Amino acid sequence: MPPVIEFTAPPLPHYITSGLSPLPIGGKHPSRKNIGAFDLLVVVRGCLYVEESGHKYEITEGHALILLPDSYHYSYEGCKEETLHYWTHFQILGEWRVVDEVEYHISHGRHPEGEQGYLSLPPFAVSSYTVALPQFTKLAQPQKMAEAINELNEMNRNIHLASVRLRQQTLFQEVIMLLSASLGADGPSPQSACAERAASYLREHYREPFSAIKLGEAINFHPVYIARCMQKVFGCSPSTYLLRLRIDQSKLLLIQTDLPVERVAEEVGFNLAAYFTASFTRFEGMSPRKYRQRFAWNKP
């Protein structure tokens, strides 16, 4: 079994930065030694081949690996297919250690947390607790994890604002919870599995007109159940999820291409440019043209 990273909170893990990296066939993750920060890798397509401390990991789609800050890691093999992965650097400012997963479960089984320890604390004392993260895992909710890190990336554009930095740290704790929830899980809950399948379908067909019936037929669930599951897992309906996805795709086109706004709207699945502009403004707080002007310096 892969190791478990166990840390004491507070303080909570601190987000540093993140990004999305495509790798061609033969591409490799950078080799590093003692970088001083944890490096979370989440693969959304393809496979990364990374070795750390004598352990070789094949990080395939929907899997995550945490590289340690005081170790040496390198790619022992190039990508065999085009690979896309998110990376996130973070720091644990408090105490942490790496333990064997079997040892972790045994120790926590013998010393269950109970109310008695809480009651023995002095009044107003801050009670610390431990959190465990799997160093290597199949994510219980890979789509939700990818969306959370993607949102962290988007916030980097306004990192100079203190309010944005606070929101980033808050959102990063959701990333930590998603990782922790994957520890020892036999698999996602039925609701999570349904929501993940629906999200995956929508990501593949976001340019097409939305149909709740067609979505239900594609993943073999009733549309009402799909809507209930997506609301629980993603906090929105399938149609709103699709709208957000189209807006995210349009932002890439606005920054990376010179396509007219009307063409951008068409490329991401909007039939009416006016509806695209209104939706974009509602989600982003500015029009598509202003968004392009503001972030033009990011254009490659």
Residue 254 has pLDDT above 80, yes or no: yes
Q: Are 82 and 24 in contact (CB under 8 A)?
A: yes
Q: Give the span between the Cα atoms of 286 and 260, in whole angstroms.
A: 17
pLDDT tier for residue 193 given thresholds of 50, 70 and 90: confident
Looking at residue 109, its pLDDT comes to: 53
pLDDT tier for residue 18 given thresholds of 50, 70 and 90: very high
Please count the residues of the chain: 300
Q: State the average pLDDT over residues 97-120.
A: 57
Q: Are 182 and 137 in contact (CB under 8 A)?
A: yes
pLDDT mean across residues, the chain: 87
Q: Percentage of the chain surpassing pLDDT 70? A: 88
Residue 127 has pLDDT above 80, yes or no: no
Q: Does 186 or 86 have the greater pLDDT score? A: 86
Residue 280 has pLDDT above 50, yes or no: yes
Looking at residue 201, its pLDDT comes to: 93
Q: Output the pTM of the full model.
A: 0.70
Q: How many CA atoms lie within 13 A of 180 on its CB side?
A: 12
Q: Considering only CA atoms, give the Rg of the chain.
A: 21
Domains and CATH numbers, the chain: 4-113+124-181 (2.60.120.280), 190-298 (1.10.10.60)
Q: Are 58 and 46 in contact (CB under 8 A)?
A: no
Express each pLDDT in 61-101 by its tens digit: 999 999 999 999 999 999 999 999 999 999 999 899 998 76
Express each pLDDT in 162-175 by its tens digit: 888 999 999 999 99
Looking at residue 112, its pLDDT comes to: 38
Q: Which stretch of DSSP H or E encloses residue 203? A: helix 190-204
Q: State the average pLDDT over residues 223-235.
A: 92
Kindly report which listed range (10-24, 188-202, 245-259, 269-283) carries the lowest average pLDDT score.
188-202
Kindly report which listed range (63-72, 99-108, 125-134, 138-147) carries the lowest average pLDDT score.
99-108
Q: Does 278 or 232 have the greater pLDDT score? A: 278
Looking at residue 120, its pLDDT comes to: 53
Q: Give the span between the Cα atoms of 61 and 142, in whole angstroms.
A: 9
Residue 195 has pLDDT above 70, yes or no: yes
